[in-house]
Amino acid sequence: MSGPLLLAVESSCDETGVALVEDGRRIHANVVASQVALHAPTGGIVPEVAARAHLRWIVPVLDEALGTAGVTSADVDAVAVTCGPGLAGSLLVGINAAKALAWAHGKPLVPVNHLEGHVYAGWLLDPGEAEREAPPFPLVALVVSGGHTFLVEMRDHLDYRLLGQTVDDAAGEAFDKVGRLLGLGYPGGPAISRAADGATARDRQFPRAWMPGTFDVSFSGLKTAARRIVAQARADEGLPADGREAALPEAVVAELAWGFQDSVVDVLATKTLRAVEETGARGIVLGGGVAANAALRARIAGEAEARGLALVIPRPGLCTDNGAMIGAAGARRLAAGVRAGLDLDARPSLPLAR
Ligand code: KG4
Ligand code: ZN
């Protein structure tokens, strides 16, 4: 590989990430400072706290990434940065760091859509990883994160046709809210997945919102159903309605976590496979924090294998927010001639588009 070396910065939410990526694929360094512990006491992200933490960590993370890759910021060919969607204050920290580096070394500044980054994580190769084929077009990408849930068709690089999206909560948001309901703490996704693994009985059914005739999904009804099912389980155990006073037995929490996760996975996998059938796609790419979910990965892997489809699911650390995915998408944008000036601003509600 000998394409351009990009320095990529990600700070849209609660992870400060800086990576060095060669040719849009090979990771040379990918350092992420997570704020999960910082936001755990509030059970969610406080934007002002997140922005301050990015400010605290951006320079150390940058230094560590350069050190790991064994380069200086003068050696890179371009600087890519997430410009949206995300939290304005958080985005601005990464954008200003990237601008300073691009300006100081006279390098192109490439603006990247965070959602596009989640899609392009599927192209990344870890430092020692053997070369493998890039995902084949046309493909269907499912991005499921804490803030977004959508299905797109890609017939070529940077070419996205939105097939469907959530009409209310993102999948990760549903995991986080139901995790809280079950007393599993923040973030709920990994906690629900761990709890569900321990379920011995797998018969607690949660409803599925099929949204027939569309590729859209909805999780707000499931969340309301979860509230009702948890309240009923508490009553059945003779516990008071307020979960802070006494927790449900671990075995019941595990069964409920399994039932909820099964509903989310079933809907996401079914919609994705239907999208593949309808578009004639040759492969599937999964991205976003919820793509770290083992049950979702296993279900889609099984279905893809049965149909002879190519499937790329990044390792969990590349599904959650990181700088490398911005470097992967940034390289495609660089090749397409996309550039930003020093007036680049945060775009908190940026949709996925070229
Ligand atoms: O992509 P991401 O790191 O940040 C956003 O751009 O939102 O996604 C974070 C989301 C959180 O809601 C978290 O609960 C969820 O991804 N998540 C998971 C798992 N790991 C992270 N959800 C289900 N199962 C997991 N193993
Ligand atoms: Zn994300």
Residue 241 pLDDT greater than 90, yes or no: no
Q: For ligand 1, pick from 290, 297, 349, 352 the residue to mutate: most ligand atoms within 8 Å of CB.
A: 290
- 185 C-alpha to ligand 2 centroid (Å): 20
pLDDT in tens, 5-37: 999 999 999 899 999 999 999 999 999 998 888
Q: What is the pTM of this model?
A: 0.94
Separation of alpha carbons 283 and 285, rounded Å: 7
- 37 C-alpha to ligand 1 centroid (Å): 14
Question: Going by C-beta distance under 8 Å and a sequence separation of 6 or more, which residues neighbour residue 75?
Answer: 5
- 293 C-alpha to ligand 1 centroid (Å): 8
Give how far Cα 155 sits from Cα of 16, 161, 164, 304, 343, Å: 31, 9, 16, 19, 32
Give how far Cα 324 sits from Cα of 173, 304, 337, Å: 23, 26, 20
Residue 190 pLDDT greater than 70, yes or no: yes
pLDDT in tens, 334-343: 999 999 999 9
- 244 C-alpha to ligand 2 centroid (Å): 31
Ligand 1, CB within 6 Å, residue ranges: 13, 145-147, 172, 175-176, 187-190, 193, 288-290, 292-293, 320-321
Nearest CA among 286, 61, 60, 15 for reference residue 171:
286
Q: For ligand 1, pick from 12, 30, 145, 222 the residue to mutate: most ligand atoms within 8 Å of CB.
A: 145
Q: How far is CA 351 from the centre of its chain?
A: 15
Residue 353 pLDDT greater than 70, yes or no: no
Predicted confidence at residue 1, as pLDDT, reads 60
Predicted confidence at residue 123, as pLDDT, reads 98
- 41 C-alpha to ligand 1 centroid (Å): 17
Predicted confidence at residue 214, as pLDDT, reads 97
Contact in structure between 204 and 53 (CB atoms under 8 Å): no
Protein residue whose Cα sits closest to atom 16 of ligand 1: 289
For 287, phi and psi rounded to 5 degrees? -155, 170
pLDDT in tens, 53-91: 999 999 999 999 999 999 999 999 999 999 999 999 999
Residue 173 Cα: closest atom of ligand 1: 12
Token pair 């008071």 is found at 240
Other residues' Cβ atoms within 10 Å of the Cβ of residue 157: 18
Question: Going by C-beta distance under 8 Å and a sequence separation of 6 or more, which residues neighbour residue 44?
Answer: 176, 186
Residue 256 pLDDT greater than 90, yes or no: yes
Query: Quick one: DSSP state of residue 219?
Result: -
Nearest CA among 266, 325, 346 for reference residue 299:
266
In this predicted model, which residue has the larger pLDDT, 201 or 215?
215
Residue 171 Cα: closest atom of ligand 1: 12
Predicted confidence at residue 67, as pLDDT, reads 98
Other residues' Cβ atoms within 10 Å of the Cβ of residue 37: 8
Q: What ranges in the chain are assigned the alpha helix state H?
A: 36-39, 47-69, 88-105, 114-120, 171-181, 188-197, 220-236, 250-279, 294-306, 316-319, 323-335
